[in-house]
Structure 1
Amino acid sequence: KTPPCAKKIIDMGIKRCIIASLDPNPLVSGRGIKMMTDAGIEVVTGIMEKEALELNRVFMKYISTKVPYLFLKCGITLDGKIASRTGNSKWITNELAREKVQKLRNKYMGIMVGINTVLADDPSLTARIENGRNPYRIVIDPFLDIPIDSKFVNFEDGKSILITSYNNVEKERISFLKKKNVNVIFLEGIDFKLYDILKKIGEIGIDGVLLEGGSFLISKAFSEDVIDGGEIFIAPKILGDDKAISFIKGFNFENISDGFQLRNVKINNYGNNVSMEFYR
């Protein structure tokens, strides 16, 4: 969206330019470097490239694939629960951890939850942070169960996106949602692939999505291997109830070695809470 910086560098008379990582944008493809070298500027590339790529993970993936970067966030008890058997989840993590979540909501363009989360909690899905920006709110709702009085429907700011089935295209509720300025995206069937959802979201121009759950979506994301990174917040609480809601379920690995392995893990402290931050 901004003009190339190479021309500005040339106009300013800069003699040496150090570039950490090259721009993967196919519309750019090294033209800025050529402009500078043609102007007699010494160009050095690859300095701290790894660090630069880490800083620009979201941009790098989206600009080269047009598929948004997917970052998982969830808060769990020590025994892996995100809610009690009654659905109560406030609050598992402490205030410091919840502040970090608001920063994540401010960082990513979109925030995604399943319809069960909306039905249980009616969340605002906003970034409660000073001078922050609210993300696009994305709800996966195959059967069009979204309550018309939910916060999601009634923002009317054009940032609510509902993913539902083509089976619902003629339903009266679709017209109501569109009048409320909800962007409705239709997909075939009812068991949507997360990759297909992300691709559709990418077409709107959303480059990064924070996946907040619930359990079904998180489990699906792991099984389809579409998670690019994440942060799992762990509180020193134990429910000990096999009917409480686990943050991930539906798998039956016979061997420990077959289970999901988080990579590039970093441990963060939030008072008496910890988190495991990981990246692909």
Structure 2
Amino acid sequence: MFRVFCLGNTDSLYLQKLPNGRDERMCERTAAKLDETFMARAIELARRGEGKTAPNPLVGAILVKNGCVIGEGWHECFGQAHAEVNVIRNAKKNHKDPSGSTLYVNLEPCCHYGKTPPCTELIIKSGIIRVVIGIMDPNPLVAGRGTEALRRAGITVASGVLEEDCRRLNEIFIHFITTKRPFVTIKAAVSLDGKTAAYTGASKWITGEHSRREVQLLRNSHTAVMVGVNTVLADDPELTCRMPGGRSPRKIILDSHLRIPKTSKIMTGLGSSPGSPLEKPSCKDEQTILACSEDADTRTAKELEALGAMVLRCKSKEGRVDLDDLMNQLGALGIDSILLEGGGTVNAAAFSQGIVNKLLLHMAPKILGGASAKTFVEGLGVPSPDCAQQFRIQDVGLYGEDIRITAYPSEATS
């Protein structure tokens, strides 16, 4: 028989074995396992804020007292209460006293005034005696100051619990706060032989329903979606999120010479959400962005701006929009993440210019063949395998009938 309990203001949970006393090594292992279990729940709660908190991070929190969860909370929406505030409110709503409890939170609590007061002050006032953190906050306004404030108040602080999971949860936030550039995810659907379409150009549907459904989840979790103008000309997409309760991303079109049709769904539906009337965007944060070269036609640019679009003039690279320059401009606009749903030409440019931070490759159990069939990376390619851009595979798994590969550039640190 085992009983879990907390011994005063200590840094550990202890396991007591009855009636033969305590096994210290078992205590430490069990305490660490419990910390991981509770942190996993905090991460799960944090994900409920996807699509609603940007540019803030995803944060979840739980309060544990005498081995029992007495409160749960997460950061629900940008500008609203943080997870630490919500978890304490939840405990009190459940008629539970947070004093003497342990707080589990995936990101270091803030210690500065922003849109909300510092979370550290409320934690201290609530009588919480131990705080377990997943990762430290890379925001220069916090960056260790939160844990310092808690320790000065006599609160025990532990960090690094499920650190890698917590880092992946907020990879967008970490990248943007440290680089001021968007985190770029490429999502591609291919056959086993790497084709994105048959030699006729037919591409519906290569992957299964599960993979196609993930596109909606990704559009909800990314601030913007980006395609090349050829995709608009060929498919006339809406690029909206059709997930119930989801947020449609801002649209970015790579269009060096402003060839986008004024009657395209992208242009006629500027700023609209699924199910709403087509209308112009109500604020600049909703405007569709047309990224063109510096020498694009001025008159055409003004006509497109009159329809509600934002035209960004960028430096040129090999006759196309310089993606590195574009990322700097988009970062200055506060766009923290981009889902790149481009064709092979756009993907090739993204890889060659080193703007890709993550690759999600859905591979269907099909062989399409055809020398002229498109692949998800086109262009000239590299002269030898030694010149290839290296990726580190993070995860491989089944997604319905498809295989999903998650990979990161091997030099990436975020």
Q: Place the TM-score, normalised by the shorter chain, in its bin.
A: over 0.9
Displacement of 1:48 after TM fit? 2.4
Matched, 1:103 2:217: yes
Displacement of 1:239 after TM fit? 2.4
The 1:180/1:74 distance shift into structure 2, 3 A limit, reads same
Q: RCO higher in 1 or 2 (8 Å CA, sep ≥ 6)?
A: 1
Q: Equivalent residue for 2:401?
A: 272
Letter in 2 for 1:176: E
Give the superposed CA RMSD: 1.8
Displacement of 1:252 after TM fit? 4.4
Displacement of 1:100 after TM fit? 1.2
Q: Equivalent residue for 2:360?
A: 231
Which of 142, 166, 169 is the matching residue for 2:294?
166
Q: Equivalent residue for 2:276?
A: none
Q: How does 1:79-90 map to 2 (within 5 A)?
A: 79-90=193-204
Q: Equivalent residue for 1:243?
A: 372
Q: Equivalent residue for 1:144?
A: 258
The alignment's TM-score, normalised by the length of structure 1, stands at: 0.92
SS of equivalent residue, structure 1 residue 81: coil
Q: How does 1:60-139 map to 2 (within 5 A)?
A: 60-139=174-253
SS of equivalent residue, structure 2 residue 253: strand
Displacement of 1:253 after TM fit? 4.1
Q: Equivalent residue for 2:327?
A: 198
Q: Equivalent residue for 1:37?
A: 151
Letter in 2 for 1:82: T
Q: How does 1:208-219 map to 2 (within 5 A)?
A: 208-219=337-348
Which of 305, 328, 335 is the matching residue for 1:178?
305
Q: Deviations over 1:88-110 (max 9, x none)?
A: 22111111110111111111111
Distance 1:194 1:215 in 2: 15
SS of equivalent residue, structure 1 residue 197: helix
Distance 2:145 2:127 in 1: 18
Displacement of 1:211 after TM fit? 0.8
The alignment's TM-score, normalised by the length of structure 2, stands at: 0.64
Displacement of 1:169 after TM fit? 5.5
Distance 1:169 1:253 in 2: 34
Letter in 2 for 1:240: G
Displacement of 1:80 after TM fit? 1.6
Displacement of 1:36 after TM fit? 1.8
Verify the 8 A CA contact 1:169 1:186 in the aligned structure 2: no
Letter in 2 for 1:174: A
Q: How does 1:4-23 map to 2 (within 5 A)?
A: 4-23=118-137
**Structure 1 segments unaligned to the other structure (5+ residues):** none
Distance 2:384 2:330 in 1: 36
SS of equivalent residue, structure 2 residue 368: coil
**Structure 2 segments unaligned to the other structure (5+ residues):** 1-78, 80-114, 272-280, 410-414
Verify the 8 A CA contact 1:87 1:120 in the aligned structure 2: no
Letter in 2 for 1:139: I
Distance 2:206 2:244 in 1: 24
Question: Which sits farther off after the overlay, 69-78 or 219-228?
Answer: 219-228
Q: Equivalent residue for 2:64?
A: none
Displacement of 1:143 after TM fit? 0.7
Q: Equivalent residue for 1:50?
A: 164
Displacement of 1:161 after TM fit? 1.1
Q: Equivalent residue for 2:139?
A: 25
Distance 2:399 2:134 in 1: 32
Letter in 2 for 1:181: G
Letter in 2 for 1:200: Q
Distance 2:145 2:375 in 1: 50
Return the index of the structure with the highest Cα Rg: 2
Q: Deviations over 1:186-227 (max 9, x none)?
A: 113343332221221111111111111111111112222221
Distance 2:399 2:176 in 1: 30
Matched, 1:221 2:350: yes
Identity rate, percent: 38
The 1:69/1:111 distance shift into structure 2, 3 A limit, reads same
Q: Deviations over 1:105-151 (max 9, x none)?
A: 11111111111111110111111111111011111000110110011
Question: Which sits farther off after the overlay, 149-158 or 64-73?
Answer: 149-158
Displacement of 1:228 after TM fit? 1.0
Distance 2:403 2:161 in 1: 33
